[in-house]
Amino acid sequence: MKDLLPLLVIVGMVLWAGAAMRLNKAAQPLRLQFAEKSEKLLGNPNLPNHLQLFIKYLQTTAFGNRLGLFFGIFYVPFIAFAILVRAKKLDGIGRLFWIKCPETRAQFHDVMRLHDRITFLNNPILLLLLEIEIPLLVAPAIALTAIFRGFAAEKIDREVTMGLIDQKSRNIRNRISLLTSPV
């Protein structure tokens, strides 16, 4: 069996490479839809300025967000802890993702959904781990906050959690690019 291990590793790598190519090909129509819809959303006057920056960030990570996902896996426990100790502040951050105009809100959610699908096709294992971790840690933190503090964080959900991860990831990307850029 030990003699077969290198062969099994090679076969696994070849299968994964083939699967990755197929996933990449499947993501292409979604990327085109995402590009079109996100540009249309950016031109919408009802989209708040801070969400325009968020959409632009989503555009830059639509083709590869491995760093953000990897970071997110380690950041979700901190978000859950922050909910326990500072739920009202995080609930206020959640309100930043609220869009008053129903049509613009629907467009925003559509762009977010497309970004999530593309991210899943680009990094299925990392996103799956993150998607499992969020309800396992964030939902109990919200429930415990409601039980012990009497405050139900109504604006903190999966989308806000992903937004917080993306925001922190964007800050880290900016710091890395400053460190690696030529002087």
Which residue, 154, 171, 49, is CA-closest to 93?
154
Find tokens 């085109």 and name the residue.
32
Question: What confidence score (pLDDT) does residue 41 get?
Answer: 94
SS3 163: helix
Can you give the pLDDT of all 183 residues of the chain as single tens digits?
678 888 787 888 888 888 778 887 888 899 899 999 999 999 999 998 888 888 988 888 877 777 778 888 888 898 888 888 877 776 666 677 778 888 998 999 899 889 888 988 888 888 888 888 888 888 888 888 878 777 666 666 677 777 777 777 777 777 777 777 665
Distance between the two ends of the chain, CA-based, in angstroms? 53
Which residue, 45, 39, 40, 46, is CA-closest to 105?
46
